Amino acid sequence: MTTALLEQRVTLKQGGGGRAMRGLIEKLFVHDFAALPFDGVGVAAMDDGAAIRFGDEWLVLTTDSHVIHPIFFPGGDIGRLSICGTVNDLAMMGATRVVGLTCGVILEEGFPIDSLEAIQRSMVAACREASAPVITGDTKVMGRGEIDGIVINTAGIGLTRNLIRDNGLKPGDRIIVTGFIGEHGLAVMAKRHGIEFEGDLTSDVAPLNSLIAPLVATTTITAMKDPTRGGVASALHEMASKSGVGIILDESAIPVTPAVRSIGEMLGIDPLHVANEGKALLGVREADVDDVLAVLRSNLLGRNAAVIGTCVSERPGSIILDTGFGRRLVAEPDGEPLPRIC
């Protein structure tokens, strides 16, 4: 009887990019918004953004709120993240041109102006790197203790002739990751927990549009997604279940740096489950693999691109890790191991 009296409340896990979050979003938001009249790729798709036909192109629209803590971390800050996050969501839908971004900043009273200036400089630098202008914005201030420092929402619009979805994998397709995984999440975790570490462990946060756009025009990408919250495991689960395929991952082929491997082992966290902010997962037909790898590896951001898996018709929605000694199922994470990772 007591459970009926317990008021249901939002949990941190529901912000973690995994199954718990998908449950909250599907139950609360998707059902009702999806019922509104709209002719295009909308909320029901739960893709990286929405898309609307505009003549012979698609207009892509996406948004992300950035609540990362700490706001300055090895390899980046909340400003760089907020530009890259939205640029990358546009790129994942196949946008070859960023039309413009919005920037909605929410500040806590007392937030240091010099930190704000540093964040702003970082946003502008990322905009230049991505050839993506911020064209409109909004500023709000909340009282002390009403918000933890700063939160930045960005939305963006882009254009493409070739819309790419996250649900087009077919059996036989190969899975490519554009580089080393787990760096963003573990760099943030190490910083937050004050873990000193010898060697390089910095976030991979970067705008991927210059890496992805050349592929969109010249090759066939069957599905694409950036493995942010919930990491590669969560993104692949979503791609596999939407596409109705299973994915067999070759563990030895997954690019992991020694730094990520050792911090991951120290913290007991699998890099497959950790957020990235400068990587993409691509589904590619077997015949196109060499062409795609060549294009990716010609760009610094993709120089460590690797084929890490193969789609199969068995066990649709499952990710199977081939360790070289046997196979095991990769669980869909319930949520990111650490909240406020992006």
> Per CB under 8 A, which region of 57-65, 71-79, 245-253, 256-264 contacts a second copy?
57-65
Handedness of CA 189, 195, 201, 205 (dihedral sign): positive
Applying CB under 8 A, among 18, 19, 58, 61 the residue interacting with a second copy is: 61
153 token code pair: 């929402």
Contact map string, positions 9 to 48, toward a second copy, x by CB under 8 A: xxxxxxxx----x--xx--xx--xx-xxxx-x-xx-----
Q: Which amino acid does the sequence have at 314?
A: E
Minimum gap (Å) between residue 170 Cβ and a second copy: 25
Q: Residues 23, 136, 200, 266: which binds a second copy (CB under 8 A)?
A: 136
Q: Write a three-state SS string for 208-271.
A: CHHHHHHHHHHCCEEEEECCCCCHHHHHHHHHHHHHCCEEEEEHHHCCCCHHHHHHHHHHCCCH
Interacting residues of 316 by C-beta distance below 8 A, sequence separation 6+: 240, 241, 243, 244, 245, 246
The binder of a second copy chosen from 70, 109, 161, 327 (CB under 8 A) = 109
Q: Is 155 in the site for a second copy (CB under 8 A)?
A: yes
Nearer to a second copy, 110 or 258 (CB): 110
314 within 8 A of 201, measured Cβ to Cβ:
no
Residue 76, token pair as written in the block: 């980046």
Our CB check for a second copy shows the closer of 98 and 240 to be 98
For 250, the token pair is 């070759």
Q: Is residue 113 a contact residue for a second copy (CB under 8 A)? A: yes
At 335, list the tokens: 């949520």
132-170 burial: b if 16+ Cβ within 10 Å, else e: bebeeeeeeeeeeeebebbbbbbbbbbbbebbbbbbbbe
Among 18, 19, 58, 59, binds a second copy (CB under 8 A): 59
Judged by DSSP in three states, 46 sits in coil
Q: Which is nearer to a second copy, 37 or 199 (CB)?
A: 37
Q: Coil, strand, or helix at residue 34?
A: helix
Binding residue count for a second copy, defined by CB under 8 A: 82
- Which stretch in 72-80, 117-125, 275-283, 321-329 sits in contact with a second copy by CB under 8 A? 117-125
Q: Judged by CB, which is closer to a second copy: 52, or 267?
A: 52
In 3D space, the residue among 179, 215, 185 whose CA is nearest the CA of residue 74 turns out to be: 185
> From the list 23, 70, 100, 258, which residue makes contact with a second copy (rule: CB under 8 A)?
100
What 263-270 contacts at long range (C-beta under 8 Å, 24+ apart), as own/partner pairs, is: 263/186, 263/189, 263/190, 263/195, 263/197, 263/201, 264/182, 264/186, 266/195, 267/186, 267/189, 267/193, 267/195, 267/337, 269/186, 269/189, 269/337, 270/233
Of 72, 74, 97, 124, the one binding a second copy (CB under 8 A) is 124
Please tell me whether residue 29 adopts helix, strand or coil conformation: helix
Q: What's the min distance (Å) between Cβ of 309 and a second copy?
A: 27
Site for a second copy in 167-226 (CB under 8 A): none
Tell whether residue 320 is a contact of a second copy (CB under 8 A). Answer: no
Q: Compose the 69-98 pattern: x for residues touching a second copy by CB under 8 A, - for all others.
A: x-----------------------------
At 31, give phi and psi (nearest 5°).
-55, -50
Residue selected from 23, 146, 265, 327 as contacting a second copy according to rule CB under 8 A? 146
Q: Does 163 bind a second copy (CB under 8 A)?
A: no
Q: Is 102 in the site for a second copy (CB under 8 A)?
A: yes
**In whole angstroms, how close is the CB of 164 to a second copy at the nearest point?**
15
CB of 220 to a second copy, least distance (A): 25
- 111 lies in the site for a second copy, by CB under 8 A: yes
Comparison of 120 and 218: residue with beta carbon closer to a second copy = 120
